[in-house]
């Protein structure tokens, strides 16, 4: 299991477009990818789950990646976040 945190820098937070892109990135892997904010968890492969967290700029989210390709999945998600969010 891999875990990491990330502070959202996008001025609009996690809105529909980057959430959709995150889902596409997450779906490339078999691992379960979960993000958490303020005790609420969401499946990173489901756009409405991500949107329900209502993550704003400057807020920190935690990611948990678990599965047979967790190392690659965690690296890919971290790279995506740095580039897009």
Q: Which residues contact 24 (CB under 8 A, 6 or more apart)?
A: none
Q: Is 36 helix (H, G, I), strand (E, B) or coil?
A: strand
Which of 15, 46, 56, 84 is labelled catalytic? 15
Instruction: Find, among 5, 25, 17, the residue nearest to 80 by Cα.
Output: 25
To the query of whether residue 66 is one of the catalytic residues in this protein, the response is no
Q: How far is CA 39 from CA 42, 52, 60, 65, in A?
A: 10, 13, 12, 17
Q: Which residues are catalytic?
A: 15
């Amino acid at each position: 299991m891999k875990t990491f945190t990330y502070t959202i820098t996008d001025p609009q937070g996690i809105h529909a477009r980057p959430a959709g892109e995150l889902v596409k990135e997450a779906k490339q892997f078999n691992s379960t990818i979960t993000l958490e904010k303020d005790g609420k968890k969401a499946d990173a492969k489901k756009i409405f789950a991500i949107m329900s967290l209502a993550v704003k700029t400057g807020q920190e989210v935690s990611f948990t990646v678990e599965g047979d390709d967790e190392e690659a999945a965690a690296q890919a998600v971290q790279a995506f976040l740095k580039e897009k969010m």
